[in-house]
Amino acid sequence: MDTSNLDIAYLALSAILFGLGGFGLLVRRNPLVMIMCVELMLNAVNLTFVTFGRMLDDISGQVIVFFVLVVAAAEVVVGLGLVVAMARRRPGATADDLRLLRG
Amino acid sequence: MVELLWLIPALPLAGFVVLLFFGKRIGEPLAGWLGTAMVALSFLVSIVVFIGLWDQPEHTYDLKLFSWIPAGSFHVDLAFLLDPLSMTMVLFITGIAALIHLYSIGYMHGDSRFPRFFTYLNLFVLSMLLLVLGDNLVVTFLGWEGVGACSYFLISFWFEKDANATAGKKAFITNRVGDWGFMVGTFVVFFTFGTVKYSEFLPLSPGLAQSTATLIAVMLFIGAIGKSAQIPLFIWLPDAMAGPTPVSALIHAATMVTAGVYLLVRVNPILAASFSWLPWLIAIVGALTALLAASIAIAQTDIKKVLAYSTVSQLGYMFLAVGSGGYSAAIFHMVTHAFFKACLFLGSGSVIHGMHEEQDMRRMGALRKLMPITAGTFIVGWLSIAGVPPFSGFWSKDDILSYALHKSPVLYAIGLFTALLTAFYMSRQVFLVFFGKARWGESGDAELAAMEAHTAAHDADATTDDARSDDLGEATVAAAADAGPVAVATEHHAHDVHPHESPWTMTIPLVVLAVLSALGGLLNLPFNENTELLNKWLEPVVGANQVHLGLSGAQLTVELVVSTIIALLGIAIAYGVYLQRRVDPERIELPLFANGWYIDHGISVFAGGPGRRLFELVATFDRVVIDGAVNGVGRLTRGGATRLRTVQNGYVRWYALMVGLGAVLIIAFVLTQVTF
Amino acid sequence: METAVFAVCAVIVILGGLGVIFSRNPVHSALSLVATLFAIAVLFLNLGAQLLAAVQVIVYTGAIVVLILFVMMLLGVDTDEDLDVEPLVGQRAFAAIIALGVVGAVLAVLIVGGHDAVTGARSVTAAVADGYENVYQLGRQLFTTYVFALEVTAGLLTIAVVGAVVLSHRPKDLQPLPEPESMTEQGDEPLTVTTEEGGH
């Protein structure tokens, strides 16, 4: 199998992973699991970037992944901070229990 | 010197502002003196400006203070136009206002709202000056509304009594009808000429299409009808007597009510450019108003009501003059009328003051010995309004009658008959108040009881009708209710009435006005061109459209003699009826007249019956359609939101789902656009 | 060789992803996530991104997942989640539709378009050159072309740290979050009908 066909396979894999992450985000109620699902989606995108970088012979794809990693780290930090703040006030709360903004 | 023009309105404005903020602190006598001083200074400045105006080309001076409404092509300045017409108005307005301010210091003595009264009076003078000095229709309208508002404030000055408050409302609402005409007229003027400035659009009016000119003229005429209390909008003026007497003298006799006449004289080129039926209409309305009001006046028992209807009647004369093309005659009569009517009103105020708030003439009599100055000045005013030579009213009324005769003999006949009635009802008033037997105190009680029974029937009649009517017709209650409380109040102090002469602050204005009433005719004696001072003075404003009579000496003599005979005849009849008692007064004072031809009554019936149904229909339309639309929009929004807000269910996963859904839809859309 | 590695890693990635989303216990999810991320690191190596592979292992599996697990243990939120119940009606069906829609769309494009689906010109300047180390190339790009973004990233991290400190700071008067009010209690009264005021 030549590498160019394999590139398509990488893209397909990342699409599946992205779909899994998205489905999990929409379905799971535990905020920590939701954060993990977001990580899944981010990694799926990272994979496509690297794949594109190789397909187009461009190092920029990898540079972008670098930045995505940084943003993901920041997101997790803030997200976990939120989870901690939330758990202090209502231990055991899920994402569904926080709906003060309901109309 | 003419540059001082801005001071004329600025002084009353200053007085108004000071009194508004510090009136209470300034206190009783001083607030009145301050207001009086401001208006008196304004009068002095007017004289200075008047002297300065002689040097101006065409006796015209335009002073622009600042640009008021610069809105694209619509441009209005706050500017003053000083020409012979406005100069005349300014002089007699400030002069008479100063006298009446002085008078009010005595008349309003002890009133709990003494400073406020002078606040309003100063505001009124300011508005009136804006009205006559405005160099465009918008500034005039500003003053027009200002005097209307002041009139309302002052009619309802003693608002503790319901009748006074309703009288104020009636005046205000009736005036609004006229104001509508003024406004539409202004709009049409702007629409036609692109400007509302007198000096810009009046010279263009001869080239105007007749229909347009007529439309403008009719609209402004409606405005004038409302302000100057002509048929059919005169009903508010008699009720306006609910206000303090100086107010009646200043606003509802001398100045404000003449604003309509002023307006018509001001726009005389427009009237000239209209269809020929328009002057006829004005003349007929004026003549009929004069006749109707005079006929009502002969049966009134309230001393101020007689004068009120008399004012309406005299204003009718002025409209008759305008309609007959005698603009200078209208202004002449306006000035002399201001003199003698102010004198009469102030005199009646002095009587009321001396009689302890008694207004019923049937409870007066033989006052001339007790109140000599009041009686003397009142008699001068009476002779003047009755048209006895050589008093001022004779000359001005005759001037108008000359124009009326030139227009049509019928108008002349109506005018003459009205003059007869005028002489009659004024003589009746003078005889009832100052001559005959004293009917105050115990002596007149028996006589009064009979009279009371006679009128009570009518009053009760009117009152029940009014009570039936709703709030729209309630203003008319004021007319009937006026008599009630007075009669009741009289019971208490009927036995301890001690009529007395009024203080000097009240008598000095009376004397000055009496002198002016006697000599006012000198302004415009009809003998030859040189004695027609006012005519010549007003030439630059009205000359082009003024009818030139060219009376021969013989014609003039005949007219003057006829007028004199009519006046003396009226006095003689009244003498026979009221002093010699040859005829029962009730045969003349018909209920029809006493109740003002049942016009108020008719309006009440209409407003209570078919009118009410119409208004309710309108109100229902307002409630169902207008409010319904507004509430419907609100309900629709609220209902829609109630349903839509379920989408905002607070589940963050649900929101994420919506984001995802949107993303999928966008992807789907992009895919449909892609081709490989 | 690459194909074989890819196949193994792809299976691990997909199984790990399924594990993340279908484990009742969050700890199992986290462990599944580690597997997935590790497999992706291997794929990065496969694709010639050695530095990223190392960073992936260090940052994700080494830092982020450990952090998540740490929070889990600290707060005791590692309770099992009842996946049989879904309070939101239709949430799962819609979620499945969306996920399948996205995946299906991408796969359809890839299957139909093949290589043509990837548009864009091949790079000339920033080529993944053979003669240099991957780290050297990345660093060079980061500190030349993307230096501004790099600086902003530094700011972002600082803000995130401050935010985390503020969020996890325990306030003195800690109030339990209220239960959401029911819909009818939130001012649902009808508009005031103004018939009484009709005479204004």
Number of Cβ within a 10 Å radius of residue B389: 16
Q: Which residues of A touch B642 (CB under 8 A)?
A: none
What six digits make up the tokens of B94? Answer: 């400030």
Bond preceding residue B509 cis, omega within 30 of 0:
no
Cβ neighbours of C149 in A, within 8 Å: 67
- CATH classification of A3-92, choosing from 3.40.50.1100, 2.60.40.1120, 1.10.287.3510, 3.30.450.70? 1.10.287.3510
Contacts of C113 in chain B (CB under 8 A): 676
Angle at B533 between CA B44 and CA B134, to 5 degrees: 50
8-state DSSP, B68: E
Determine the average pLDDT of the residues in B263-272.
Answer: 92
By CA distance, what is A42's nearest residue in C? C37
The alpha carbon of residue B644 is apart from the nearest alpha carbon of chain C, in Å, by 13
Beta bridge partners of B63: B80
Q: Which residues of B, range 601-660, sit inside 8 Å of A by Cβ? A: 644-653, 656-657, 660
Q: How far is CA B586 from the centre of its chain?
A: 31
Averaged over B48-62, what is the pLDDT?
87
What global pTM score does this model have? Answer: 0.64
Radius of gyration for the alpha carbons in chain C, expressed in angstroms and rounded:
26
The 3-state DSSP class for residue B254 equals helix
C140-153 pLDDT tens trace: 888 988 999 999 99
User: Are B596 and B296 a contacting pair, CB within 8 Å?
Assistant: yes
ipTM of the complex: 0.90
Write the pLDDT tens digit of every residue in B277-292: 999 999 999 999 999 9
Residue B46 above 80 pLDDT? yes
Whether residue B15 contacts residue B38, with contact meaning beta carbons closer than 8 Å, is answered with yes
**Contact between C163 and A66 using a beta-carbon 8 Å cutoff:** no
Cβ-defined contact of A22 to B660 (cutoff 8 Å): yes
- Which residue in C33, C28, C30 sits closest to C12, CA to CA? C33
The per-residue pLDDT for B489 is 42
Coil, helix or strand for B356? coil
Specify the pLDDT at position B447: 54
Give SS3 for B425: helix
A partners (3+ CB pairs within 8 A) are B, C
Ranges of each domain in chain A: 3-92
CB contact B554 to A (< 8 Å): no
Residue A102: name the closest of C94, C76, B652, C68 by CA: B652
Facing residue for A102 by CB, picked from B644, B649, B653: B649
Q: Which residue on chain A is closest to B646 by alpha carbon?
A: A103
Closest CA to A84 of C75, B309, B519: C75
Assign C127 a pLDDT band (cuts: 50, 70, 90): low
Peptide bond into B232 cis (omega under 30): yes
Q: Are B655 and C88 in contact (CB under 8 A)?
A: no
C195 touching chain B per CB within 8 A: yes
Residue of C102, C112, C195 with shortest CB distance to B667: C102
Q: Do B653 and A27 touch (CB under 8 A)?
A: yes
pLDDT for the residue B262? 93
From the list C33, C52, C87, the residue facing A65 with the nearest CB is C52
User: Has residue C111 got a pLDDT over 90?
Assistant: no
* Mean predicted confidence (pLDDT) in B172-176: 90
Backbone angles phi, psi at B112, to 5 degrees: -70, -25
pLDDT the model gives residue B445: 55
Q: Tell the burial category of C4 from Cβ atoms under 10 Å away from its Cβ (0-12, 13-18, 19+).
A: exposed
C-alpha distances in Å from residue B129, one per residue of B31, B134, B155, B527, B531: 21, 8, 20, 33, 28
Q: Positive or negative, the Cα torsion across B640, B642, B647, B648?
A: positive
The Cα B478–Cα B304 span in angstroms is 14
Going by DSSP bridges, is the β-strand pair B74-82/B61-71 parallel, antiparallel, or unpaired?
antiparallel
Contact A89 C174 (CB under 8 A): yes
Show the DSSP H helices in chain A as ranges.
Answer: 3-27, 31-55, 60-89
The answer to whether residues B196 and B136 touch, using CB atoms and an 8 Å cutoff, is yes
C157 three-class SS: helix
Report the 3 state secondary structure along C16-76.
Answer: HHHHHHHCCCHHHHHHHHHHHHHHHHHHHHHCCCHHHHHHHHHHHHHHHHHHHHHHHHHHC
Which value, to the nearest 10 degrees, does the dihedral of the CA atoms of residues C157, A58, A40, C161 take? 0
Condensed to tens digits (0 to 9), the pLDDT of residues B106-145 reads: 888 888 889 999 999 999 999 999 999 999 999 999 999 9
Helical ranges in B298-326 per DSSP H = 303-323
The percent of residues in chain C predicted with pLDDT above 70, rounded, is: 78
User: How large is the C-alpha radius of gyration of chain A?
Assistant: 17
CA separation for the pair C117, A11 (Å, rounded): 11
